Amino acid sequence: MTETQNFGPANDVVIKVRSLENRFGDLVVHDHLDLDLRRGEILGVVGGSGTGKSVLLRSIVGLHRPTGGTITMFGQDPRRLSGVQRSRLEQRFGVLFQGGALFTSLNLAQNIALPLIEHAGLERPEAEELACMKLALAGLPPETASKYPAQLSGGMVKRAALARALALDPEILFLDEPTAGLDPIGAAAFDQLIVTLRNALGLTVFLVTHDLDTLYAACDRVAVLSQKRVLVADSLDKVADTDDPWVQDYFHGPRGRAARRAHQRHNKENR
């Protein structure tokens, strides 16, 4: 859990998921799933393979239409909005996809400038200037602006994708496995970057991950997907005490114990 917790009260909910159902033929992924995302928090979403973590994220951001249930964002149901209203709502959040999803034919400045041109109506020179600022915000040096995705390391791709997610100054960030494929040092640096950005910009973060180190380093609350719904959503310590076989194996197995010890050691060193 992060030391700086500035998220709002429990009733300050920016995303509310109620009775969500997701079915693919005979396969039921979610059944009456409920979840809240509170303003200013970093919420980590975990679960075993096939529990629908990414499907949940895609349902919330509108890339997948659920079979049933409701999702409201800032008190609005996107499905009930006009095209213009929905576009405005979508500009209030940014998404970092697992593979980065950068356009390979565009350099980084052009990748990040694209939403500024398409949605903010900026001219290309101004958009690319702002794009360079977003790259700096994500911790990338100025010379990366002219580079193409194929010329970057995995960690740099993640940061570039983060810069694009921040392009329109969103209030909510959705991150799908942001540290997947990164070495331990790069992953730790990325975790710290997310916390720093949350604290500096007042962001709310919905973070799908399997990385225990990320949960301990960055998340204020953790939601566990199991049995087609949210089994528990609470502080990491309370979630880890949940009487469930998967939870116990995940948080109290060798990797879970190692992540907990590393977090405790980090806290002692920084007191």
Q: What is the DSSP string of 121-188?
A: ---HHHHHHHHHHHHHHTT--GGGGG--GGGS-HHHHHHHHHHHHTTT--SEEEEESTTTT--HHHHH
Q: What is the mean pLDDT of residues 130-136?
A: 96
Domain assignment present for residue 177? The answer is yes
Residue matched to tokens 């209203």: 85
Q: Is the sign of the CA dihedral 160, 164, 175, 50 positive or negative? A: negative
The yes-or-no verdict on residue 231 having pLDDT over 60 is: yes
Count Cβ neighbours within 10 Å for each residue of 215-248 and write b for 16 or more, e otherwise. Answer: bbbbbbbbbbbbebbbbbbeebeebbebeeebbe
- Provide the percentage of residues in the chain whose pLDDT is more than 90: 82
Share of the chain above pLDDT 70, in %: 95
Query: Using CA atoms, how far apart are residues 224 and 237, in angstroms rounded to an integer?
Result: 13
Kindly state the average pLDDT of the residues 62-81. Answer: 94
| Domains held by the chain: number | 1
Helix ranges, the chain (H): 53-61, 83-90, 108-118, 124-137, 154-165, 184-201, 212-218, 236-240, 245-252, 254-269
Domain extent, residue 178, equals 13-92+170-270
- Mean pLDDT lowest for which of 42-46, 115-119, 185-189, 253-257? 253-257
What angle (nearest 5°) sits at the alpha carbon of residue 93, between those of residues 129 and 53?
125
Q: Which pLDDT score, from 0 to 100, does residue 11 have?
A: 59
Both tokens assigned to 245: 């076989």
- Segment 144-148 mean pLDDT: 96
pLDDT band, very low/low/confident/very high, at 3 (cuts 50, 70, 90): very low
Average confidence (pLDDT) over 109-136: 95
Using the predicted structure, report yes or no on whether residue 23 has a pLDDT greater than 80: yes
In a domain, 245, yes or no: yes
Strands 42-47 and 93-96 turn out to be unpaired
What would the mean pLDDT of 47-58 be, rounded to a whole number? 94
HSE, side-chain direction, 13 A CA sphere, residue 219? 27
Is residue 124 assigned to a domain? no
Q: Is the pLDDT of residue 150 over 90?
A: yes
Distance CA 22, CA 167 (A): 30
| Rounded (5°) CA angle 223-193-143 | 140
Residue 69 in domain: yes
- CA 258 to chain CA mean position, Å: 24
Q: Give the pLDDT score at 10.
A: 52
pLDDT at 271: 65
**Is residue 180 scored above 80 in pLDDT?**
yes
The answer to whether the predicted template modeling score (pTM) of the entire model surpasses 0.95 is no
* Residue 126, domain member (yes or no): no
User: Is residue 193 in some structural domain?
Assistant: yes
- The rounded Cα 56 to chain-centroid distance in angstroms is 12
In a domain? residue 127: no
Q: Which residues is 20 bridged to in the sheet?
A: 33
> Quick one: pLDDT at residue 4?
42
Average pLDDT over residues 201-226: 96
CATH code at position 36: 3.40.50.300
163 inside domain: no
Nearest to 212 by CA among 184, 177, 250, 178: 250
Return the pLDDT at 254: 84
Half-sphere exposure of 93 (CA within 13 A, CB side): 26
Q: For the segment 197-210, what is each residue's pLDDT rounded down to a tens digit?
A: 999 999 999 999 99
